[in-house]
């Protein structure tokens, strides 16, 4: 096991952002503290160590489905698979995309049984929150659906990572989007799930001077090719960091 973790640590370092000549490549970055998931992903660790096979379900809405990207390979679930395959030679990586555009937390939780029961995954990446915020779902209902969905998935032994809202004009214009952010962080901590802080990562891009046009489509909501690819790369780093940490 110790040898495996040393190997994972070495390969994870290969995926850290490197200096590049193009602006888009150097802009794909995040402060290390924003990439910490807050979970060691124990089920995923065991799957790698014992079965040499990591099955991941990417559960979500249009962000996960890859709405509007010019190439399906740019969607973050495919970028995650590509990154993990490069970092973990000899490990079979399976990333199952279960993104359906327009769905909110309630609809995703309701179909979790069909998406997970046939072949339970070791890790679920649950991208949610944006549609709930835009539709003004009551906060207590949003929180309960999150808890119920994670509890059900964990009953199959799966690790969970929640992916928070995207920082985009249509989301920033809402009056209470950060309330949903805080709820997701609280639930993740309470139930032992990881949290991928997409909202904070993208906000840091904007605060650092990156225009929305570099990472958001013209609709002001969905990630463009760069946004999707970069989120996939940073998610890969986060997961590898969790697998190699104490």
pLDDT in tens, 27-78: 899 999 999 999 999 999 999 999 999 999 999 999 999 999 999 999 999 9
Give the mean model confidence (pLDDT) for residues 143-165: 95
- On whether residue 55 sits in a domain, the answer given is yes
Q: What is the pLDDT of residue 117?
A: 76
- On whether residue 27 sits in a domain, the answer given is no
Q: What is the pLDDT of residue 58?
A: 97
- On whether residue 26 sits in a domain, the answer given is no
User: DSSP state, 126?
Assistant: E
- On whether residue 23 sits in a domain, the answer given is no
What are the angstrom distances between the C-alpha of 224 and each of 96, 123, 157, 195, 212? 21, 25, 34, 22, 10
Distance CA 41, CA 132 (A): 26
Q: Tell me, what CATH number does 71's domain have?
A: 3.40.50.1110
- On whether residue 107 sits in a domain, the answer given is yes
Q: How many structural domains are present in the chain?
A: 1
- On whether residue 172 sits in a domain, the answer given is yes
Handedness of CA 59, 63, 68, 73 (dihedral sign): negative
Q: Is the pLDDT at 16 greater than 50, yes or no?
A: no
Distance CA 90, CA 72 (A): 25
Q: What percent of the chain has pLDDT over 90?
A: 82
Per-position DSSP letters for 133-188, written without gaps between them = HHTT--HHHHHHHHHHHHHHHHTTT-EEEEE-----HHHHTSSSHHHHHHHHHHHH
- On whether residue 108 sits in a domain, the answer given is yes
Q: What is the pLDDT of residue 115?
A: 78
What are the angstrom distances between the C-alpha of 206 and each of 68, 136, 179, 209? 21, 25, 20, 5
- On whether residue 212 sits in a domain, the answer given is yes
Q: Give the domain extent around 229.
A: 2-7+38-244
């Amino acid at each position: 096991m110790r040898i495996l973790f040393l190997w994972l640590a070495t390969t994870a370092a290969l995926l850290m952002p490197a200096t590049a000549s193009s602006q888009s490549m150097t802009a794909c970055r995040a402060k290390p503290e924003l990439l910490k998931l807050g979970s060691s992903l124990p089920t995923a660790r065991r799957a790698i160590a014992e079965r040499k096979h990591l099955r991941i379900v990417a559960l979500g809405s249009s962000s996960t489905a890859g709405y509007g990207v010019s190439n399906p390979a740019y969607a973050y679930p495919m970028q995650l698979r590509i990154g993990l395959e490069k970092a973990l030679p000899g490990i079979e990586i399976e990333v199952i995309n279960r993104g359906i555009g327009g769905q909110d937390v309630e609809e995703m939780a309701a179909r979790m049984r069909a998406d997970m029961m046939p072949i339970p995954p070791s890790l679920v990446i649950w991208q949610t929150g944006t549609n709930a915020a835009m539709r003004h779902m009551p906060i207590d209902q949003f929180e309960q659906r999150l808890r119920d969905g994670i509890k059900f998935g964990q009953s199959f032994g799966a690790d969970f990572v929640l992916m928070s809202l995207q920082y985009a004009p249509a989301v920033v214009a809402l009056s209470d989007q950060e309330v949903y952010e805080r709820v997701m962080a609280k639930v993740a901590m309470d139930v032992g799930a990881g949290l991928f802080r997409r909202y904070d990562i993208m906000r840091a891009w904007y605060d650092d001077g990156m225009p929305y046009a570099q990472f958001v489509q013209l609709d002001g909501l969905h990630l463009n090719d760069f946004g999707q690819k970069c989120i996939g790369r940073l998610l890969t780093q986060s997961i590898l960091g969790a697998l190699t940490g104490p």
